[in-house]
Chains A and B, each alone.
Chain A
Amino acid sequence: MNANVTLNWPSLNWIDVGAAIDVPYQGARRVDTDLGAIAVFRTVDNEYYAVMDKCPHKGGPLSEGIVHGRHIACPLHNWSFSLQTGEAVGADAGKGCTPTVPLKIENERIFLGMR
């Protein structure tokens, strides 16, 4: 599995996907796209991250997991991933990676970097 995979968009197109406040604190919301669902997270320190909503292990919806620090624990088998790099951490480190999606917050709105 490649380290630190970022979706390789030809040219980034920032798309407004909603209000920052609509993602629950220490929680996640899902954005459906033609490439599959993207999970948008908000951490304990009010940082926002986006990764593909699919655990590389068995495809679990990461948006339903428990957010801890800058990590997300998959709801199916409790693998943990870094929200910054998408890589598996802890006991399962090195075994998988979920692609990250570029994200920025402007005027309290969430923008995902898309094609």
Chain B
Amino acid sequence: MDNKQRIVVIGAGMAGGRIVEEILKRDSSSFDISIIGAEACATYDRIQLSPVLAGEKSFDDIVTHSDAWYDANGVKTHFGYWVQSIDRVAKQVVLHDGQAIGYDHLILATGSDPIRLPLPGSDLQGVVAFRDLHDVDLMTRAANAGGEAVVIGGGLLGLEAAYGLAKRGMKSTVIHLVDVLMERQLDEAAGRLLEKALLERGVISVLSAQSEAIVGETHVEGLKLKDGRVIPASLLVMAVGIRPHVEPAKSAGLTVERGIVVDDQMRTSDPSIFAVGECVQHRGACYGLVAPIWDMCRTLADVLTGKNPDAAYYGSELATRLKVSGVDLYSAGQFNGGEGCEDIVFRDPGRGVYKRVVVKDNKLVGTVLFGEAADGAWYFDLIKKGETIADIRDTLIFGQAVTEALAGVDPNAAVAAWPDDTEVCGCNGVTKGTVVEAICGGADNLDKVRGCTKASASCGSCTGIVEQLLKVTLGDAFKAQTGPKPMCKCTEHGHQHVRKAIIEQGLKTIPDVMQAMKWTTPDGCSSCRPALNYYLLCAWPREYQDDPRSRFVNERNHANIQKDGTYSVVPRMWGGVTSAKELRAIADVCDKFDVPMVKVTGGQRLDLFGIKKADLPAVWADLNAAGMVSGHAYAKALRTVKTCVGSEWCRFGTQDSTGLGIKLEQDTWGSWMPHKFKMAVSGCPRNCAEATIKDFGIVCVDSGYELHVGGNAGIHLRGTDLLCKVATEAEARDYSMAFVQLYREDAWYLERTAPWIERVGLEFVKTQLFDEETRADLKARFLESQAVFQVDPWAEHAPKSEPAKVFSPLADLREGTSQDHITETA
């Protein structure tokens, strides 16, 4: 028998998992640890449920302590069990199946329960909270059925729920009692910006609205407000707050007020029983965020293991970050000011940026950042330190980089001076010491550090700090992954910089660019040359001479190379429409050149596979003779415009989608772009042409045309963003050309519209396209380049091709082959 002390943890959530880990980290041999969890699964990061709901992460991504982890660390798990009672006299916990587990120290990590409003109808089917995996599962299934979702509660959790549901395709509305979203974390100005940003992501906010009743027979059908409005809903999420889960503590006779009352060492009214996390009430405060959990767990682990018997917890400063893709929002401390507080505010409505720092007695006490939140951790650190900011006050609002550069401070020096126990990653409770240790142990880049320490692997807000630590620890050996990434190994300049230099310095050939920008290779590489060729072509359509040697094989040979080295050819069929004559020409080509396979492509065109390179010119000549031009099915250019039949034949069609598709294709074909580009026109919201996963999609409706942008059905599926609605075909065409040109001029080579829009923001695209003059300029520049580039490469090549020279071998030395051929080319 060993005489290990027995620790029992009730609750296997974030606090339960963390306390076990903190104890083991300090002392892995003196304790027998058991953990009891009501959810029948491992410990996961509950704050990451929002990305799971939004489909941006999977459950496996958010597991922090798996069954295997507990096994490997010798921790006994009782998952799927709940606690019947705590017998403080016998010092044992009785589970619902009657088994008793004895303890020397008991730790309550029972967390909290979602608050359910006592509204009539709250027991209807389809009414859920947003708290655990089960809820996420219910919500996901409801979203898959489509329909409308109403979320009560415009706080952090409610907004993340609403965004997740919108992202899964539901019409999503948030009902909030107050007139500002997230009023406990945001001031009014930031609240308004958030409202707008959410609307762009499909979440409607109804503010100052009081819920009266949930309506429906057996299943929820809507939410009735006090003012009489009824908002239809097939799913209703209550996200109005949480309440510490205190039942087991209460029935065991511990002191409980709002939460389980603990002292500065996390001890309850029974000296053998401790509590950590959201179930706790410490110095009158209950916390619903993650940072305090880590603080509490560290303190308790220090006390229990005797590492520091005098450790104490004095409460936590709080910072909040919203986990909605593309919405950068951060708030910390006393952001709303108050007596003796001064505000410093920065606004740039054009970019949707708003920053506010609150200063009191020359100390930073709070901040709200919207649109640009990268400096959140820096401000938060200043708040926690409480040192005077008098000498950086004038630049404080511009953030860390500017402030420290102007003060002549090496931004890395500050990080280097941090003590080892400074917490770097709040989500995963990783200290500077742990990160530095990992870096010294061989983790020499961000991904590796993430892999072995989990630092910066959750919300990512500490990425900058981890990178600074890499820099400080590795010195020159660390290639900064911050700042613009170089185009390739031939240069230190990023895409943006190169594009700018081409225009500003009037660089007009690839060697010019390489010379001016100090390329380190004689003629670049297969990654930068095609990019430079494109950038020059886009910048100087009339002057630049295209360089086929810097083009990928498909564009050089005007056909699509296949895995066996043969090619496929796709004749253009405008809007997907063809004729007997064209089909006959295609059939003849297939017979004549033994084409082994003809396939309808995803873009409604016919693809002729297995054509030998030497036959290409003859194939093109035949197709050209039937009036068909290159499909560009191989090119970084407009590929196809997919259409449905629209009003011409379909009983639902609202507009002539086929006709419009043909016009769009005729407008834009031949235009070189940063990457492939696809369009579609659907004749009604049934969206048969799948316009909402295209780079540019149009959904026709009775009153006109909805224009959608930035969709992608590639490796990462992305639905389009709604750009705007226009009334006429002419406007739709204008917008499509202006959008294409904006993409051509702004995106990086090989960046499709989806990641481009995520990078620059939909707001940028809108600002450019909604300005009438800018839109007209973009269109004019597009037409100018089309005047040069709208040429059919097949027609250009087919008649004047000299097959022996370009598409045939230099020589044929095979047995029985005449050597005369060689001398002919001399």
* Interface positions of A (Cβ within 8 A of B): 15-19, 22-27, 29-34, 37, 40, 44-45, 58-61, 64-69, 71, 73, 75-76, 78, 80, 109-110, 114
Q: Which 5 A-B pairs have the closest CB atoms?
A: A73-B526, A29-B810, A75-B553, A17-B811, A44-B523
Asked if B810 and A23 sit within 8 Å, CB to CB, the answer is: yes
Binds A, one of B346-354, B760-768, B791-799, B812-820: B812-820
List B522-568 residues whose CB lies under 8 Å from chain A.
522-527, 529-530, 549-553, 556-557, 561, 563-565
Interface residues of B in 773-826 (CB under 8 A from A): 805, 809-815, 817, 822, 825-826
* Whole-angstrom distance between the Cβ of B791 and the nearest chain A Cβ: 21
Closest to B824 in A: A18
| Contact in complex: A22, B563 (CB < 8 Å) | no
17 A-B residue pairs with Cβ-Cβ distance under 8 Å, sorted by A, are A15-B813, A17-B810, A26-B549, A27-B549, A31-B810, A32-B812, A32-B813, A44-B523, A59-B564, A64-B556, A65-B553, A66-B529, A66-B550, A68-B523, A75-B553, A76-B561, A78-B526
CA A18 – CA B811 in complex, angstroms? Answer: 7
Q: Give the distance to chain B from A46, nearest Cβ to Cβ, in Å.
A: 12
A-chain residues with CB within 8 Å of residue B522 when the two chains form the complex: 44-45, 69
Which listed residue, A19, A27, A68, A78, touches B529 by the CB 8 Å rule?
A68
Task: Decide: B812 and A69 in contact? CB cutoff 8 A.
Answer: no
- Indicate if the CB atoms of B526 and A22 lie closer than 8 Å: no
CA distance A28 to B753 in the complex (A): 34
The total of chain B residues at the interface (CB under 8 A) is 32
Known: A26-B523, A69-B521, A71-B525. A31 touches B563 (CB 8 A): no
Closest B residue by C-beta to A71: B525
Interface centre among B522, B524, B529, B809, by most chain A C-beta atoms within 10 angstroms, is B809
- Tell me the complex Cα distance, A44–B550, Å: 12
Q: Do A37 and B809 contact each other (CB < 8 Å), given the known contacts A32-B814, A64-B557, A80-B526?
A: yes
Q: A34-B813, A58-B563 given. 12 additional CB < 8 A pairs?
A: A16-B822, A17-B810, A19-B825, A22-B805, A59-B564, A64-B557, A66-B549, A68-B524, A68-B529, A69-B523, A71-B525, A114-B813
**Cα-based distance from A40 to B813 in the complex (angstroms):** 14
Measured between alpha carbons, how far is A108 from B396 in the docked complex, in Å? 69
| Bound CA–CA A61/B561 (angstroms) | 10
Chain B residues with Cβ under 8 A from A33's Cβ? 813-814
A76 vs B812: C-alpha distance when bound (angstroms)? 24
CB distance from A112 to the nearest CB of B (A): 8
Report the minimum CB–CB distance from A67 to chain B (whole Å): 7
Instruction: Tell me the complex Cα distance, A92–B35, Å.
Output: 47
Using an 8 Å CB-CB cutoff, how does the interface string of B687-700 with A read, 1 for contact, 0 for none? 00000000000000
Residues from chain B with Cβ under 8 Å of A40 in the complex: 810
B526 contacts which chain A residues (CB < 8 A)? 65-66, 68, 73, 78, 80
Q: Nearest Cβ in chain B — how far from A99, in angstroms?
A: 16
Q: How far is the CA of A45 from the CA of B521 in the complex (A)?
A: 12
Q: Which residues of B contact A75 (CB under 8 A)?
A: 552-553, 561
Assess whether B524 is in contact with A17, with CB atoms less than 8 Å apart: no
- What residues on B are CB-neighbors of A44 within 8 Å? 522-523
What residue of chain A has the Cβ atom nearest to residue B823's Cβ? A16
On chain A, the residues within 8 Å of B563 by CB distance are 58, 76
Using CB atoms, name the residue of chain B closest to A73.
B526
Is A30 a contact partner of B549 (Cβ separation < 8 A)? no
Distance to closest chain B CB from A85 (angstroms)? 18
What is the CB-to-nearest-CB distance from A62 to chain B, in angstroms, rounded to a whole number?
10
Q: Give, as a whole number of angstroms, the nearest-CB distance from B485 to chain A.
A: 16
Instruction: Assess the A19–B826 pair: CB atoms within 8 A.
Output: yes
B336 to chain A, nearest CB (A): 52
Closest residue of chain B to A18 (Cβ to Cβ) is: B810
Q: Say which residue of B525, B527, B561, B822 sits within 8 Å of A18 (CB atoms).
A: B822
Name the residue on B nearest A37 (C-beta).
Answer: B809
A105 CB to nearest chain B CB (Å): 13
Which of B524, B564, B812, B813 has the largest number of chain A CB atoms within 10 A? Answer: B813
Determine the chain B residues whose CB is within 8 A of the CB of A110 once the complex forms: 810
Distance (whole angstroms) from the CB of A102 to the closest CB of chain B: 14
Smallest CB gap from B565: residue in A: A61
Question: Do A18 and B549 form a contact, CB below 8 Å, given A34-B814, A65-B526?
Answer: no
> Are A30 and B550 neighbours in the complex by a CB distance under 8 Å?
no
8 Å CB contact of B565 from A27, A59, A78? A59
Please name all residues of chain A whose beta carbon is closer than 8 Å to the beta carbon of B809 when the two chains form the complex: 29-32, 37
Residues of chain B lying within 8 A (CB to CB) of residue A25? 549
A71 CB to closest chain B CB, in angstroms? Answer: 7
Query: Closest residue of chain B to A15, judged by CB?
Result: B813
Contact with B822, one of A17, A65, A76, A80 (Cβ below 8 angstroms): A17
B553 touches A64 (CB 8 A): yes
Bound Cα distance A3, B522 (Å): 25
Q: Contacts of A45 on B, CB cut-off 8 Å?
A: 522
User: Which A residues are in CB contact (< 8 Å) with B810?
Assistant: 17-18, 22-23, 29-31, 40, 110
Task: A16 to B821: give the CA distance in the assembly, Å.
Answer: 11
Q: Are B815 and A73 in contact (CB under 8 A)?
A: no
Determine whether the beta carbon of B815 is less than 8 Å from that of A34.
Answer: yes
Residues of chain A within 8 A (CB-CB) of B550 are: 66
A31 touches B549 (CB 8 A): no
Smallest Cβ-Cβ distance to B551: which chain A residue: A66
Report Cα–Cα, A68/B547, bound state, in Å.
13
Kindly state the separation between the CA atoms of A32 and B521 in the bound complex, as whole angstroms.
32
Residues B813 and A67 in contact, CB atoms below 8 Å apart: no
Q: Please, how many angstroms separate the alpha-carbon atoms of A66 and B530 in the complex?
A: 9
Chain A residues near B556: list those with CB within 8 A: 64
By CB atoms of chain B within 10 A, which of A19, A59, A68, A109 has the most?
Answer: A68
- Chain A residue at minimum C-beta to C-beta distance from B821: A18
- Bound together, the chains give a CA A3 to CA B789 distance in angstroms of 45
A65-B553, A66-B530 given as contacts; is B811 within 8 A of A32 (CB)? yes
In the bound assembly, the distance between CA atoms of A67 and B522 in angstroms comes to 11
